[in-house]
Amino acid sequence: MATDTDNDVGQPPEDILRVEAVCKSYGETVALDNVAFAVGAGQIFGYLGPNGAGKTTTINILCGLVRRDAGEVSICGADIDRDPVAVKQDIGVAEEESNLYPELTCRRNLEYLGELYGLSRAARRRRADELLDDFDLVDKAQTPFRALSRGMKRRLTVAAALIHSPRLVFLDEPTAGLDVPSARALRQLIRNIKRDGTTVFLTTHNLAEAESLCDRICILAKGRVVAEGTAAEIRLRVAESRTISLVLSDEVTGESIRQACPAVKTAAMVGGKWTLGVTDLHAAASQIVALAQRSGWRILEITSGGDTLEDAFMTILDANAGKAEADQ
């Protein structure tokens, strides 16, 4: 369910961010182990993983806050070590915990950050006006940051990361803790950021959110990249984990189901229910219904699993954990 990109078919976007064989350790603890990925310009790139996977360490390295032990990082064609000032002009960061000043108004927070980035007085005022309008905060322009609702604070935090019109913005858990309307509104603002030409590097624990927003996704586990691609590609990678649970009114055999339903790979009776391993949930369900109608069977229960990014995410993490145990 990843959104379509705005790029022409057959024309892959230029990489705005490249990470190659990056390693980072803290004493005996390996935080990142040969991490590599690329982010195309104009994309929303999802960087996913459980707590402790290394996401925060990665972002800190990409923002120049932490030095990597090994590997290469290129942002907008510049090396973060050789030209940190140029890189920081090209990036914006909206952390989960906002660093805005609670006593300053929304407008003053934006203008002050614009001043730090070297914008002229006229430019930062104009840009603040644009962002307050884009993020629906015009009526809160003179309200202190501390007096805003949680959702408004998140919106202003994201707006502040865009004050200098960066080419790449890092959004760390932007919708965490928000109510449904606030989270939905912020997701639309993220789509608008992409529409306006800014590349988005997004971390989130909301897998449905990642699936709806991201053009490409990278999954990290214990400091290693364990999957990368579109949401559809990652789901396809674990297609064998898709299952249908089926209860029928009549006695049937697994062989009869497999022969009549090409999308069913395996069929086993477990706890009074058929557990069917399928290649395509929708095709298999259609074939099963058609078979039941032809055979005069009655379907008492049918449920499916393994067809979402969350299912694939958990399958990949479980497989990676099992591999790690086997390697020890």
**Would you tell me how many other CB atoms lie within 10 Å of the CB of residue 185?**
16
Q: Angle 137-143-144 (CA atoms, 0-180°, nearest 5)?
A: 120
Task: Assign 245 a pLDDT band (cuts: 50, 70, 90).
Answer: confident
Compute the average pLDDT of residues 321-328.
Answer: 57
Q: What pLDDT shows up at residue 57?
A: 96
Edge-to-edge strands of the sheet including 243-248?
264-270, 273-278, 243-248, 299-305
Q: How far is CA 282 from CA 42, 167, 242, 303, in A?
A: 32, 40, 11, 11
Q: What pLDDT shows up at residue 120?
A: 97
**What percent of the chain shows pLDDT beyond 90?**
69
Please list, in sequence order, all residues whose beta carbon lies within 8 angstroms of the beta carbon of residue 52, skipping any fewer than 6 positions away.
222
> Mind listing the domains of the chain with CATH numbers?
15-236 (3.40.50.300), 239-305 (3.30.70.980)
Q: What one-character-per-residue DSSP string does 37-60 give?
A: EEEETT-EEEEE--TTSSHHHHHH
Highest mean pLDDT among 37-41, 232-236, 308-312: 37-41
Q: Encoding tokens for residue 32?
A: 């990142």
Which of 163 and 307 is assigned the larger pLDDT?
Answer: 163
Question: What is the C-alpha end-to-end distance of the chain, expressed in Å?
Answer: 37
Q: What pLDDT shows up at residue 240?
A: 52
* 49 and 220 Cβ atoms separated by less than 8 Å: yes
Please list, in sequence order, all residues whose beta carbon lies within 8 angstroms of the beta carbon of residue 213, skipping any fewer than 6 positions away.
2, 3, 44, 46, 187, 190, 191, 202
Q: What pLDDT shows up at residue 1?
A: 36
* 231 and 1 Cβ atoms separated by less than 8 Å: yes
Please list, in sequence order, all residues whose beta carbon lies within 8 angstroms of the beta carbon of residue 267, skipping any fewer than 6 positions away.
254, 255, 257, 258, 274, 275, 276, 277
* 248 and 263 Cβ atoms separated by less than 8 Å: no
Chain segment 124-173, per-residue pLDDT in tens: 999 999 999 999 999 999 999 999 999 999 999 999 999 999 999 999 99
Q: How far apart are CA 167 and CA 75, in angstroms?
A: 10
Q: What pLDDT shows up at residue 97?
A: 87
Task: Assign 328 a pLDDT band (cuts: 50, 70, 90).
Answer: low
Q: What is the pTM of this model?
A: 0.78
